[in-house]
Structure 1
Amino acid sequence: MFDYSTGMMIWIVVLIAVVPYVHRIRHPDQKFLAAYLIFLFSFIIASSALYALLAWLVEALNLTRLFGDVMTTLTFLILVFVPAFLVARWLTRKPPSQHNTVPP
């Protein structure tokens, strides 16, 4: 049904699908590749951390039996991916930092 290759294909489609979105929302002073990588890495880190935290919380509260319901599973995924998306979007829209290491 759902194997590793299907997951990889979905992930590749998502990586390609966010290209125009990142191009549209990035800060004008930010280079596209930098904005794209910021979006990807921040989304991956935030969603991984939220998934681990919520999965641990569900396991600790012994609520795993609730995941037989589709709405509970969708709610869990929304609680993972929506905040991760918002963090990635916020970081992508920020202007690049102006750290000058050489004195003027």
Structure 2
Amino acid sequence: MTLDKLTMEQLHGSQLEIAEVIGIEAYRKLVASYGGSSIYISKADSVMNGLRDAEIFRRFDGSNYLELAHAFNLAENTIRDIIYRQSTDREAHQMTFF
């Protein structure tokens, strides 16, 4: 039997729950790629924090730590940490010519 013939009615328990959340087509792809493996799915907060941090870095003008802290309801030191991490990550991914 091939995965394209797999239906929701053939699933049970947590596998059915996953398929109900993502849809049967996505479930088939998930099984094809990760079947038999353990995978970790991040919490929504973790995923959203990455987007938030990128937005903070994008809006950073070199001196507006306090403004960003107020805008994102974070401590100024947290903003500084985010800026540092974002700039370090970007430098690590840049290519050099020498």
Q: TM-score, normalised by structure 1?
A: 0.25
Structure showing greater radius of gyration is 2
Q: Which has the higher contact order (CA 8 A, sep 6+)?
A: 1
Higher helix share: 1
Q: TM-score, normalised by structure 2?
A: 0.26
